[in-house]
A and B are shown apart, each in its own frame.
Chain A
Amino acid sequence: MEQFLQQLTNGLAVGGIYALIALGYTMVYGVMKLINFAHGDLFSCGAYLGLTLLTGLALQDRVGPVAGLLVLAVLVVVLVALLGAILERAAYRPLRESPRLSAVVSALGASIFLQNALMLVYGARFQVYPSGVLPEIAVSVLGVQVPLMRILVVLVSLVMMGALYLFVQRTKVGTAIRAAAIDQGAARLMGIDVNRVILLVFLIGPALGGAAGLMVGLYYGQIGYQMGLLYGMKAFTAAILGGIGNIPGAMVGGLLLGVVESLGAAYVSLAWKDAIAFLVLILILIVRPTGLLGERVAEKV
């Protein structure tokens, strides 16, 4: 029971991170029908920027641990969001009218570029986050000692997801995003500036991804330049699991995948942990390509 609860909470924390990244995939896909391959690498950028700012600015010493962490998070989120907007401008906008697969290749190029840029700047070795950013205490949940960091990761990801959901469902801009996702042409006729919606989506998605990157750095303490590929693939699996283009779907899919993977690693096989997500991905696409709550993706043959 003890182990089960530990794995469950760990799965929820990892799942929250997957869900935040998955939201970036699903929002971009919803509006542009494009899989943003570089999204996983924007997530890595968030982790690395977080490390640089954490060690470079020493905010913790200047404004205290909690405020320092908040400022750090805001800086990372803003910077990664800007990076996302630049990416959209440079790699995707020139290809708006091209065949879909040209944009996919360009996205792939962007992913390769970002990943290798990170390697050249930071080196190919794993980088370590400084310890003691947050006091390492454990909180008792249902009689089980759970690290504070884990609870924080779960809470922060849930709050961000909730905020995004309210933004998309309740505000005027959110309505514009949903309209552009359903039919770009009709949205344009209704007076919605679709270019701005796309730009906004490319700000919000990478912002959430960057936050996820920072959280991975703080939670695991170790980051590598290639982790964007693995996390990106898993988050994409989460997005498909929930139904791509569907925002609540990405959240549900992410949490579900995190828990399945965490329990699978504990009770089935640790060595095959990374294969679990890919197996889930392939099975869903074969059995139910629309995901749990999503649109149709397979062509009729």
Chain B
Amino acid sequence: MSRRLLAGYLAVAVLIGCTPLFLDAYWVDVLCNVGLYALLALSLNLILGDAGLFHMGHAAFYAVGAYTAAILNTRLQLPILWALPIAGLAAAIFGAIVARPVIHLRGDYLLIVTIGMGEIVRIALVNDLGGLTGGSNGIFGIGRPSLFGWKLRRPDEFLYLIWGFVALTVFLFHRLAQSRFGRALNTLREDEVAAEGSGVDTARYKLMAFVMGAAWAGMTGSIYAAKMTIISPESFSFWESVVVFVIVILGGAGSIPGVILGAFLVIGLPEIFRGLASYRMLFFGLALMVMMVVRPQGFLPLRPVRFREADVPPEGAAP
């Protein structure tokens, strides 16, 4: 992570940390939503940005996580934050099962299949799968989360929970990008044949990216369930998947700061121009078309990793 990027992150963190001092509850809630979408977009970014897999059913993983947490909480009285890792695990398992057979499909076909997968999940939720999902009414009465005996209720408390999780995610995903896994995905996206030639097991890495993205979306889903206390299939429609997709593409696929900027632009900006809210999606559709012509790499694109001479170990030294 470069020093400038680190400074940028710190500035954003301090700014968001101070917002409850001067913003009212409504705007703090908007920031919470930005944070949730940033988390979703960061998780999709692993799949779409890092592995280059066109996946437009991300709402399905989000839904699996949210419903897992909600069911565990309302049926078994498990505290919602304890359900978070289980929700992540459930989404990961679901992701592995659905992705395994389709991972080898070519880009645009994968896109269609993932849209279909997302719709099947939504229809299953509406049809009250196994009598657990509550049909189109959804699940209500989800317990408030408590952290070290402190019960979270107000938007500013959720702000710290959500953005704390964003900060953790950003840190982990930056570490991940530098790891063997991250470098393998990077090669994979740039040139699949070359990656395979260099010994990268492409199918396995694609699947791993999918499963990790699903797990993170699932955990985000459980935070969403905790914040809303009510969830219903409407919240996981095709349009949710589209919005998250748009955030990643407009922000800059593969770039972590880009994706966060994208979340602010796509979720936060329309709140400022609230009078034009109904034009929101019209504008994003247009923006996608224009961006692909003038700046296909997004607003804050991924910068290729560069190594300084000092980074290169001297000849003969252990790597």
Whether B127 sits at the interface, judged by CB under 8 Å, is yes
CB distance from A107 to the nearest CB of B (A): 9
Q: Give the number of residue pairs across the A-B interface with Cβ within 8 Å.
A: 125
Does A278 lie within 8 Å of B285, measured CB to CB?
no
Cα-based distance from A114 to B289 in the complex (angstroms): 12
Partner of A95, one of B117, B124, B282, B293: B293
The answer for the CA separation of A10 and B164 in the assembled complex, in Å, is: 55
A112-B284, A281-B113, A282-B117 are known contacts. Are A104 and B293 too (CB-CB below 8 A)? no
Segment at the interface with B among A70-78, A152-160, A210-218, A269-277: A269-277
Secondary structure of the A contact surface, majority rule: helix
The residues of A that contact B120 with a CB separation of less than 8 Å are 275, 278-279
Quick one: given A100-B107, A116-B281, are A274 and B289 in contact (CB under 8 Å)?
Answer: no
Q: What's the nearest-Cβ distance from chain A to residue B286, in Å?
A: 6
Query: Cα distance A220–B202 when bound, in Å?
Result: 47
Query: For window 73-123 of chain A, which residues contact chain B by CB distance below 8 Å?
Result: 90-91, 94-95, 98-106, 108-117, 119-120
Shortest Cβ distance from residue A260 to the other chain B in the assembled complex, whole angstroms: 15
Contact of B54 among A90, A101, A297 (CB under 8 A): A101
| Interface 0/1 of B119-139, CB less than 8 Å to A | 110011011000000000000
Complex CA–CA separation, A300 to B282 (angstroms): 38
Secondary structure at chain B's binding surface: helix, strand, loop or mixed?
helix
Smallest CB-CB separation from B249: which chain A residue?
Answer: A105
Most chain A beta-carbon neighbours within 10 Å: one of B105, B245, B285, B296 = B285
**Chain A residue at smallest Cβ distance from B103:** A301
Chain A residues closer than 8 Å to B116, beta-carbon distance: 233, 237, 278-279, 281-282
Q: Cβ of B104: which chain A residues have Cβ within 8 Å of it? A: 298-301
User: B10 in the interface, Cβ–Cβ < 8 Å?
Assistant: no
Chain B, range 109-160, C-beta contacts under 8 Å to A:
109, 111-113, 115-117, 119-120, 123-124, 126-127
Determine whether the beta carbon of B107 is less than 8 Å from that of A104.
Answer: yes
B102 on the A face (CB < 8 A): yes
Is residue B72 contacting chain A, with contact meaning CB distance below 8 A? no
Q: Is the CB of B296 within 8 A of A109?
A: no
* Distance in angstroms between the alpha carbons of A101 and B303 in the assembled complex: 20
A100 touches which one: B102, B108, B117, B238 (CB < 8 A)?
B108
Asked if B279 is at the interface (CB within 8 A of a chain A CB), the reply is yes
Question: Does B25 sit within 8 A of A, measured CB to CB?
Answer: no
Q: Is B78 an interface residue (CB 8 A)?
A: no
Q: Are B289 and A236 in contact (CB under 8 A)?
A: no
Contact present for A233 and B282 (CB under 8 Å): no
What per-residue 1/0 map shows which CB atoms of B238-264 lie under 8 Å from chain A? 100010010001000000000000000
Residue B278 lies at the interface, judged by CB distance under 8 Å to chain A: yes
Contact in complex: A301, B119 (CB < 8 Å): no
Q: Tell me the minimal C-beta distance from A248 to chain B in angstroms.
A: 21
Please, how many angstroms separate the alpha-carbon atoms of A281 and B111 in the complex? 12
Contacts of B117 in A (CB 8 A): 278, 282
B292 located at the interface, meaning its Cβ lies under 8 Å from any Cβ of chain A in the complex:
yes
Given A90-B289, A98-B296, A297-B106, CB of A120 within 8 Å of CB of B282: yes
The residues of B that contact A95 with a CB separation of less than 8 Å are 292-293
B287 in contact (CB, < 8 A): yes
Q: Within the complex, which residue of B105, B107, B293, B296 is in contact with A285, where a contact is CB–CB below 8 Å?
A: B105
Nearest CB on B from A124, distance (A): 9
Can you name the residue of chain A whose Cβ is closest to the Cβ of B278? A120
* Closest-CB distance, B114 to chain A (whole angstroms): 10
Per a CB cutoff under 8 Å, which of A35, A98, A281 touches B108?
A35
Task: Considering the complex, give the chain A residue whose CB is closest to the CB of B280.
Answer: A116
Expressed in whole angstroms, the minimum distance between the Cβ of B122 and any Cβ of chain A is 9
* Beta-carbon contacts under 8 Å, A211-263 to B: 229, 233, 236-237, 240
Min CB–CB distance A60 → chain B (angstroms):
33
A189 at the interface (CB under 8 A from B): no
Give the docked Cα–Cα distance between A95 and B115 (Å).
24
Does B314 belong to the interface (CB within 8 Å)?
A: no
Q: Are B105 and A297 in contact (CB under 8 A)?
A: yes
Smallest CB separation, B52 vs chain A (Å): 8
Q: Are B286 and A236 in contact (CB under 8 A)?
A: no
Question: CB of B203 within 8 A of chain A?
Answer: yes
Q: Is the CB of B203 within 8 A of A301?
A: yes
Residues of B within 8 A of A11 (CB): none
CB distance from A135 to the nearest CB of B (A): 37
Contact B242 A282 (CB under 8 A): no
By Cβ-Cβ distance, the 4 closest A-B pairs, closest first, are A109-B288, A113-B285, A112-B285, A278-B116
Q: Interface on B for A, CB 8 Å cutoff?
A: 54, 101-109, 111-113, 115-117, 119-120, 123-124, 126-127, 202-203, 238, 242, 245, 249, 278-279, 281-282, 284-289, 291-293, 296
Interface residues of A, Cβ cutoff 8 Å to B: 34-35, 90-91, 94-95, 98-106, 108-117, 119-120, 229, 233, 236-237, 240, 271-272, 274-275, 278-279, 281-282, 285-286, 289, 297-301
